[in-house]
Amino acid sequence: MNATNRTPADLLSSALAADSERPLVTFYDDATGERVELSVATFANWVAKTANLLQDELSVEPGDRVALLLPAHWQTAVWLLACASVGVVADVSGDPAAADVVVSGPSPEALEAARACSGPRIALALRPLGGRFAPHAPEGFADYAVEVPGQGDRFVPYAPVEPEAPALIVAGREFSGAEVVERARAEASGLGLTGPGARILSALPYDTWEGLSAGLYGPLASGGSVVLCRHLEQAGADVVDRRIETERVSAVAR
């Protein structure tokens, strides 16, 4: 990847320029049987739309905090890169009461916690193909799947994103965008991401740096890709072995 990349958004731009059609995130949910594969181009399009939602509809500004009450999921990965694109702080499993915006998954516990945020509240149904809540989003929340499709396919931040500014909070630790990139690069080989084309299967949650590194930032920083698995414990050993083979996985984090 380009050595001049200083932020996670830079890494995505570099990946898009290098090979926009290669897979970047392949997501499995073994509780529902869902499988979805996003190329770099498709992932970047979701990121651009979500960043435009943040910047234009939710009026966030660089330095604002977005609490992400979401599991390891391809849409969570989109939100992490959208926050990085705008220059806001993605606070993974953070305190909604201290956030300017909260983004919640569909679990009753997450939705209840999210109500502590006095700013905009966005809810994700996490249904296959990015489907909407049925029949509607919970009261007090906007439905991400309703709001995002109409957003622009290209994103330009109103203000340049500063690499040294806070970009991520996970497990109580704050990282700048530059620190996310540097640490992801430094740790990629240890994860088995030894170069472009490497493919890691990760069943780690997103609420630790290790989970984010294996499940998103490491593959992005190394030119690799991730097979992100939710509820992998519900799959039998034979299913996992077959997935590793069919998805051409070269490393595993679980």
CATH number at residue 116: 3.40.50.12780
Cut 0.85: pTM above it: yes
Q: For the chain, 254 residues long, give each residue's pLDDT as a single digit of tens.
A: 556 899 999 999 999 999 999 999 999 999 999 999 999 999 999 999 999 999 999 999 999 999 999 999 999 999 999 999 999 999 999 999 999 999 999 999 999 999 999 999 999 999 998 899 999 999 999 999 999 999 999 999 999 999 999 999 999 999 999 999 999 999 999 999 998 999 999 999 999 999 999 999 999 999 999 999 999 999 999 999 999 999 999 999 99
- Reported as type and span, the H/E element at residue 254 is none
d(CA 150, CA 137): 17
- Domain with 70, as residue range(s), is 8-253
- Establish if 50 belongs to a structural domain: yes
Give domain status of residue 3, yes or no.
no
* Domain presence at residue 121: yes
1 belongs to a structural domain: no
**What are the distances in angstroms from CA 140 to CA 10, 78, 104, 180, 207?**
34, 23, 12, 33, 25
Q: What is the 3-state secondary structure (H, E, C) of 66-107?
A: EEEECCCCHHHHHHHHHHHHHCCEEEECCCHHHCCEEEECCC
For residue 252, what are its two tokens? 């595993």
Domain count of the fold of the chain: 1
- Comparing CA positions, the residue from 170, 208, 167 lying closest to residue 94 is 170
